[in-house]
Amino acid sequence: MDNVNNWYELGPFTVFDVETTGMSARNNRIVEIAAIHIEKDGTMSRYESLVNPGCVIPGRAMNIHHITNEMVAGAPKFRQVGFEFIEFVDDSTLVAHNARFDLAFLQESLVRCGLPQWKGKTMDSIKLFKQAYAGLPSYSLQNLRRTFKLQDLRPGLQAHRAAADVEWTVQLLEIAFTALLKKLK
């Protein structure tokens, strides 16, 4: 770590987020997935897709992420999206804010459609942030977004949509890794 000048040199990383029909990975389905792949040289590429869950999106879920049944009606099923996603993440470390939730949905969805589960490394940005900034009152994405005045790098993206949450998580990853790297020097 002594030779690391920039946080992304610790990668490659793929920051991802899912939006779902509910809270249970076993009983609910993914309706959106987004990711940013960050190479060791800092270059980034993006993946995002709505997903047709094959079921009705409950009103309480729509109230959170604002993804409607009409929006996903023509979207691909998870099998296609899952295959593309696994190719996109390649040999990187998967990172999510509250990784247990997102990874549970990813793994369950992969198994459900006959694709192999993710066996690579994973990281939870909440745990990383708690190491870098212990004692904050909340580590929710929206609270950290306000506390660290995160930028809207892609205008028009809204909170609780996968692409926006991924953009903010990448910014948090940079903040946390930079703080931790400074402590090591």
What's the token pair of residue 86? 């696994």
Residue 1 lies in a domain: no
Residue 140 lies in a domain: yes
Q: For residue 159, give every residue at least 6 positions away whose Cβ sits within 8 Å of its Cβ, in sequence order, or none.
A: 141, 142, 145, 165
Quickly list DSSP for 23-63: S-TTT--EEEEEEEEE-TTS-EEEEEEE---SSPPPHHHHH
- The domain total for the chain is 1
Residue 19 lies in a domain: yes
Which pLDDT does position 126 carry in this prediction?
Answer: 97
Known catalytic residue: 160? yes
Residue 2 lies in a domain: no
pTM above 0.85, yes or no: yes
Which pLDDT does position 90 carry in this prediction?
Answer: 87
Mean pLDDT for the stretch of residues 119-124: 97
- Give pLDDT tens digits for 134-180: 999 999 999 999 999 998 767 777 778 999 999 999 999 999 999 99
What's the token pair of residue 66? 């604002």
In angstroms and rounded to an integer, the radius of gyration of the C-alpha atoms of the chain is 16
Which pLDDT does position 151 carry in this prediction?
Answer: 81
- Give pLDDT tens digits for 67-107: 999 999 999 999 999 999 999 998 999 999 999 999 999 99
